[in-house]
Amino acid sequence: MLFKRNTSPQTYHVPTMNVLDLGSTKFMCAQGHKVNNTFRTAGFGYHAAGGMTGGRITDISLCEDSILRAIETAENQSGEVIKDITVGLGGPCIQNKIIKISVQVGGDIVEDHHVETLFQELLRFSAKQDKEVLYFIPQSYTLDGAMGVLDPRGMIAKELSGSFFVTFGQRMFMENIMNVLDRCHLIPQQFISTGYASSLGALLKDETVLGVTHIDMGGRHTDVTTFREGNVVQAFSLPVGGEHITQDVARGVGISMADAERLKTLYGSSIIERGDDQKILQVQMLNSMSGKQVTKQLLATIIRSRVEEMFEMITQQIKINILATGQRYVLTGGSSMLHGIKEKAELMLRGTVRLGHPTNVVGANTASMGPEFSVCAGLFALVDKNTQEVAIPKHTSRKFFWDRLKSWMYDTI
């Protein structure tokens, strides 16, 4: 029997912030309130990501049930029923891009409608690609080739160009996400990519200005986001994560996925240390009552191969000019807790590596302090400063969106 949730209006009370991280292996829900410059968690819940495989919904009833269980745990802690919610999404159906768009001004003064035309062109571009624009951030403008313009209005130019950090979602995937959230009686206010949200939850402001690459090592995919001068200069996702390490351990040792996950968590390492060949681990063989002894060296060898592959894939995709700057790196996600991951990353990425964790969240639950909570922490931050992000809620009208967009332009440009 699928889980049922009490949505009685008698118990309804709007909390300050509700966020939901729909990760590839785990769904996490958090409720929080801003206290000074810190977010304090009031409720927190998580559940295995049932009904979703490889970032795609494969069983909508099971997916609904998994979300509801995470939601109810958070609600029980906070005493508040969740309706409006900000959602983090990742996987192959979500794509971050830097998009540059130009419009002709004709030698006239740049006005609001010229800037608005840039945004409309961005939406038309996404429609041709059969994608939804989930949100976008204007990063800078260019007037007749002169780059770095922050506010083009009132200036004379022949051509106006804009550089935008944009998150797209495949149209049918977003329709199914909206469907499952509606079945959970949830009203999404914004959709944010988990990679970008995790960056904002774990990075320091100085890091984003000086230059940093954030690597969020999820269960089935790894998100990489590079910042420079406060802007995103590159973002991509790789189809490999912690669950692939677990699969390698299960195959290499001959044990179940559950036992492999436990073995990885308790004894796993991405580096081989002196004496590991003498350390014996007792494991239960798959489909057998008998046990098996393996060395810690064998376990580390299996894990190291996959971790090295992950970092090699990252270095192949990061732009050459970024690698040449002696880049800083910050690791988050469940796999960032592997023993030796920092040392392995520094060796392969040839830069300074920091293990990241939420920088702006406090709470009674210790899980809210770990690297896996970085997405929820970033979602809190985005909700708090959403006047700087242009989100397009699916349930709102286009008129509402453009009214909000114009208000945002007056406030932030």
Same-domain pairing of 78 and 18: yes
> To which H or E segment does residue 86 belong?
strand 84-89
Q: Is 325 within 8 Å of 211 (Cβ atoms)?
A: yes
**Residue 4, in any domain of the structure:** no
**Residue 318, in any domain of the structure:** yes
CA 29 remoteness from chain centre: 14
Structure confidence at residue 413 (pLDDT): 53
Same-domain pairing of 218 and 324: yes
Same-domain pairing of 54 and 71: yes
Same-domain pairing of 263 and 276: yes
Same-domain pairing of 225 and 181: no
**Residue 363, in any domain of the structure:** no
Structure confidence at residue 321 (pLDDT): 56
Same-domain pairing of 228 and 311: yes
Q: For residues 5, 184, 80 and 91, what is the CA-based torsion angle, rounded to 10 degrees?
A: 130
> Could you identify the residue written with the tokens 């063989």?
285
Report the predicted TM-score, pTM, of the whole model to 2 decimal places.
0.86
- Picking from 320, 30, 355, 57, the residue whose alpha carbon sits closest to that of residue 217 is 355
Intervals of the chain under pLDDT 50? 1, 9-15, 387-402, 404, 406, 408-412
Return the CATH number at 125: 3.30.1490.110
Structure confidence at residue 390 (pLDDT): 46
Same-domain pairing of 281 and 315: no
Same-domain pairing of 344 and 210: yes
**Residue 148, in any domain of the structure:** yes
**Residue 123, in any domain of the structure:** yes
Same-domain pairing of 191 and 68: yes
Number of structural domains, the chain?
A: 4
SS3 339: strand
Average pLDDT, the chain: 86
**Residue 46, in any domain of the structure:** yes
β-pairing, 156-170 vs 94-109, is antiparallel
Q: Can you name the residues that pair with 195 across neighbouring β-strands? A: none
Same-domain pairing of 221 and 146: no
Tell me the C-alpha distance between 406 and 260, whole Å.
53
Same-domain pairing of 234 and 310: yes
**Residue 299, in any domain of the structure:** yes
**Residue 289, in any domain of the structure:** yes
Return the CATH number at 262: 3.30.420.40
Supply the range of the domain harboring residue 38.
9-92+173-196+376-388
> To which H or E segment does residue 343 belong?
helix 341-349
Structure confidence at residue 120 (pLDDT): 87
Q: Is 65 within 8 Å of 50 (Cβ atoms)?
A: yes
Tell me the C-alpha distance between 392 and 46, whole Å.
26
Same-domain pairing of 216 and 328: yes
Structure confidence at residue 344 (pLDDT): 96
